[in-house]
Structure 1
Amino acid sequence: MDGNLGATLGLAPFETDWFLPRYQPVRCGDWEIQVPRDVIARGYWGPTVFMAEMPVLLRGNETWMSLTPLEVESQAIGLAAARGHVVIMGLGMGWAAAATALGEEVTRVTVIERDGDVLALHETLDLFAQLPDAARAKLHILQGDALEWQADAPVDLLMPDIWLPLVSDGRVEEVRRMQANVRAGAIYFWGQELEIARHARAAGRVLDEDGIAATIHDFGLPLIGTDYPGHAELVAVAAERWMRDRWLPSA
């Protein structure tokens, strides 16, 4: 297919201000990076777009991560707020770690990854070689369990992303376990907006600023994001787009 396919379909190409690394196909153990071409992808809260290439991380035949608008938009709030020492739970494709390290106000990025094959895959991929020296020097990749690893230095922001599904039971409790060990000043976890939405709806709250703030208070975690432009509306859009009735009961 040619490069005009997106225009033929009436879809804009995927564009973002965040750094997007280049990926090459690579395999290690059960894990594999593939780079399919000519993909239509839906945003987390943004529009459906056309992607000439869509890097994806597979384990067997199961997609664990893909560098799509969903992935980028669902990390954007955390990336925008990243300061000081940032701890990322889960290496995945390495994109969030790379984008975080590029932040001018970020001084250190510690990434905790449990799976040795994922670490070995990145040794071959050498993704971080695409970063400037100053950003690359901030990165510290460690093997460990996200639910057990303990920080030995102050952490300004904790960004967990260890889950396969976008929504899952027990996620808030798992973030609490991580926070008990890390004691971060702020937290932004993957799928946070959907967790806020389903807990708010379960408590009979409206997805407005007050309902979201009350729900975050109930979590007992220093979650960030409420000052992100249009936050309440974005939470509502993402929730309606990505959750089924099981997760988001009727108001």
Structure 2
Amino acid sequence: MTIEEALRRLMPVVPELLPGHVWLAGAGPGDVGQLTLHAIAGLAQADVVLHDALVSEAVLALAKPEAELVPAGKRCGRPSSEQTTISAGLVAEARAGRRVLRLKGGDPFVFGRGGEEVLALAEAGIPFRVIPGMTAGLAGLAAAMIPATMRGINQAIIFATGHGAESQHASLNWEAMASLGQPIVLYMGARRIGTIARRLMAGGMPADLPAALILDATRAEQTVTVTDLEHIAGTVGEGDEESPALIVIGRIVTMRARITDLISQAKQEVLF
């Protein structure tokens, strides 16, 4: 069966984006090939696409030519739309009878404020659909050759956001988190990793615990820097704070070298 034939067979199961409806879709971590079929269907049908700043041009190029593309992203340290404004815009566009796609990087319900937008739509009586996406915390690790779980290394994995780490009123107890002995994957943590690392070490996490900074995960420009907890803050460059960044802390990071060494020895080519 060809790719074209397979896609034709799938078309009858693709839902219809109706006028006055909103779809909240995850665009994945960046690589256009990691879009779901339903996210592609939303792009093909939407009259207006309200998209995050991190959604790539390659993904947005899949929207129908006459669709209106509206930037509605929130970027740390940069001017960005207020969440209430974004939510109100979704409601207004739907009430105007348009087919609305809210396109978010990763998964809309993983540090994406999708829950807030769903609440706003539900309160306004707007019909909506949530389309999951591949979250960067898993897809980005895989692209960096770091298994999220590895038998004999970890029995759990922690996903956390770096927002608010420097606040005296921060709700996350990093010192307590350190005592769990499980890998930590940080979203939006590059700007505050120095503070986070100090607090984790204060909680007993070893300074020499492996850590990695992954920039532009799954994209052609992806870079991976491996170091340890004590020195991870020093790997973050000035411009990196604004890039899509993941930070992984834990022994699962050691798997990257083991895998890449074996690939190199065998002279294998690995494709993503």
**Max Rg structure:** 2
Band of TM-score, shorter chain: 0.3 to 0.5
TM-score by length of 2: 0.31
Higher relative contact order (CA 8 A, sep 6+): 2
